[in-house]
Amino acid sequence: MFQNNPLLKQLKKNLHKQTPRVEGIVKSTERGFGFLEVDPQKSYFIPPKNMKKVMHGDKISALLKIEKDREIVDPEILIEPFLKRFVGKIEKKDNKLFILPDYPFLKDLIIICYPKKNCTNLFQTGDWAVANLVQHKLNGHSVFSAELIEEIVKSNDPLTPWWVTLSRHNLDKKEPLIKNQDFILKDNHFKRRDLTNLDFITIDNLNTKDIDDALFIKETNDGNFCLTVAIADPTAYIESGSKLDIIASKRGFTNYLPGFNIPMLPRELSENICSLIPNERRPVLACSITINKNGNISNIADFFLAWIISKEKLSYEDVSNWIEKKGCWEPSKKSIQNQILLLYQLCLSRIKWRKLHAVLFKDSLEYRFQFSETGKVKNVVVEKRRIAHKIIEESMIIANIVAANFLSKNLGFGIYNIHSGFDCINAENTVSFLKNYNLKFTAKEIMTLKGFCNLRRVLNILSNDYINSRVRRYQSFGDFSTTPSPHFALGFSEYATWTSPIRKYSDMINHRLLKSIITKEKTIKPNEEIKLKISEQRRKNRIAERDITDWLYTILLQKKEYQNKKFSAEIIDVSRSGIRAKIIENGANVFIPALFLHPIREELILNQEIGQVFINGNLCYKVSDLIQIILCEIRFKTRSIIAKPEY
């Protein structure tokens, strides 16, 4: 009789207001209890019985209570669940389906409700699936439950790391499939120069099929170089706004993963019709550029549409071996030999020029997984950037510099690759850090392109890996812009890529803009939305590649031959809980917990800011150090590898 009493309702409302409440993110622990993190400095204890109402990562509002002279919280309202759409492993019990989310801190099975017809018979323990969380305990339900959306892969499938990771990040698993699509040339009305008689060559990996750049070079009468860069032209077949164009814009990139790639465009286009396959006539967007013998690029660049026939597909390994006088491979004819030698001379002149005027990259090792025919990981091989890689790299850099300049002069917009160097705070931090090593710069100086390049050149000469790693930590991340802006990390006032339109949608956009200038057609400035979409897709692709790589390393390093083996590893990061290192032999990232560095925690200081580890006040480890390690544990749940120093 009192349930609708207005006085009682008001009393409850007042009591609710008086009860202290806090809002934050749930953090679980291995031992069943948890914490509600309100901000980085403040958190509240969640007892094990209360943790059963929530999941790690949930954003909640909770009642603040005192229990046994200790502040605790009791979860009350779910603001935002951590789990929404997720991937997990199926477990079948008593003819019922459960799913274990693929997250390290989530260890409880979630019951599957609302299954599709015959769903129970379709799934077995160990299968992987995508699910949606549909019931949460804080929403008045007695259990957490989920609804299956789709099957990912069956138990023990060797391709599990790829399909699960791609599903987690909601990335495509196959090339675009366009039914009844005839790929015909859409811009036949534009005049193309006939360059089919010139000795264009391509240099790629041996197994590359999506060949998007070909080069032709000649020496001028005054000893300069005239380089013609011919780039595959998918926009000749794909109209702006078409179904395939929209698909490509959503994908953003060809996704290169260990073992295979997932193309941005149908393979019929990317690996056949548009690919600059040897001895096939192909439409291209081309640019002729003059570079003097000192490596300076002419201000005048000639962009045009053309037809070419690549005369030969060369491999990085063969070209590098021939230049370095190794092995027995030789170019098939004198004209091809001449092309390689001129490109080599151009490459050396540009490396010398960039060393003096821009920024040179430090050569780094690359690691490639080897697989069996059934897709099981067998080994990892180390690959170095050799001279043929640098020839192509320098040629593409030249092409992208002149494209950025051409777009800026004629339009004032495009898709530019930018890097802002340091922001104000990190510039001050960098200057303060460098003073410790008697390197005197000012924040104002290194925030200019000229000053940044000078700093990088000084650091290259100094060749101190520790100092380099700390300075890189302060640098900004690369980004895209629709208006011209410097790329500090390369050392150029502007930079716009157009040399990989088969693989990058941003390059397709720049192709259309360059072609509109050539053909004098109306142009539309790319909007901010497409720039943000491309950036986000690049981020997701990189995370997916990293996740698959980590998974493959946990599979590989469990083999007997790696147990108790001593590895050389480089320290790449220091955190409060330990250090991360990369094994030089195979590229695997490992974690060394603080306990393995020194058994007495009070005597150990791990300083993340400066990347150094002190024991009893003595510096013992720092980022860039090479240390000897052995593997202790492979954790499949977190796809992590635990190691300890070997003294």
User: What does the alpha-carbon distance between residue 210 and residue 255 come to, in Å, rounded to a whole number?
Assistant: 13
**Domain closes at, from 64, 80, 96:** 80
Contact (Cβ atoms closer than 8 angstroms) between residue 566 and residue 618: no
Instruction: Look at residue 114 in the predicted model and tell me its pLDDT.
Output: 66
For strand 200-204 and strand 297-315, is the pairing parallel, antiparallel, or unpaired? parallel
- Contact (CB, 8 A) for 306 and 242: no
Q: Hey, is 468 helix, strand or coil? A: helix
On whether both 543 and 632 belong to a single domain, the answer is: no
Answer positive or negative: Cα dihedral of 91, 96, 99, 105. negative
If phi over 0 gives left and psi between -120 and 50 gives alpha, with beta otherwise, what is residue 279?
left
Judge whether 165 lies within some domain.
Answer: no
List phi, psi (to 5°) of 576: -65, -25
Contact between residue 441 and residue 435 where contact means Cβ atoms under 8 Å apart: no
Examine the domain organization and report whether 567 and 624 are in the same domain. Answer: yes
Look at residues 547, 574, 589 and tell me which one is the last residue of a structural domain: 547
CATH number of the domain where residue 37 is located:
2.40.50.140
Asked whether residue 600 is domain-assigned, the answer is yes
CATH of the domain at 124: 2.40.50.640
- What was the pLDDT predicted at 215? 98
Residue-range definition of the domain harbouring residue 97: 85-157
Do 47 and 136 have their domain in common?
A: no
Last residue in a domain, options 130, 157, 184: 157
User: Does residue 590 share a domain with residue 513?
Assistant: no
Confirm whether 2 is domain-assigned.
Answer: no
Tokens for 512? 């259309």
In which region does residue 241 sit, left (phi positive, over 0), alpha (psi from -120 to 50) or beta (all else)?
left
C-alpha distances in Å from residue 503, one per residue of 141, 499, 639? 47, 9, 29
Alpha carbon distance, N-terminus to C-terminus of the chain: 78
Do 252 and 300 sit in the same domain of this protein? yes
- Asked, for residue 181, whether it belongs to a domain, the answer is no
If we measure between CA atoms, which residue out of 360, 581, 357, 584 comes closest to residue 459? 360
Report if residue 3 sits inside a domain: no
Q: Residues 136, 282: one domain?
A: no
384 shares a domain with 429: no
Q: Are residues 230 and 124 in the same domain?
A: no
Low-confidence ranges of the chain (pLDDT < 50): 1-2, 15
pTM: 0.91
Phi, psi dihedrals of residue 259, rounded to the nearest 5°: 100, -35
pLDDT, residue 185, reads 86
Does residue 275 fall inside a structural domain?
yes
Whether 188 is covered by a domain: the verdict is: no
Question: Are residue 223 and residue 100 in the same domain, yes or no?
Answer: no
- Residue 128 phi, psi dihedral angles, 5° rounding: -115, 145
130 in Cβ contact with 83 (< 8 Å): no
Are residues 202 and 113 both part of a single domain?
no
Does residue 428 share a domain with residue 414? Answer: no
Separation CA 280–CA 311 (nearest Å): 9
Number of domains the chain is built from = 5
Of 388, 272, 281, nearest to 339 by C-alpha is: 388
Q: Are residues 508 and 370 in the same domain?
A: yes
Q: What is the pLDDT of residue 198?
A: 97
Q: Is 326 inside any structural domain?
A: yes
Place of tokens 């510099």: 401
List active site positions.
Answer: 204, 210, 212-213, 316, 503
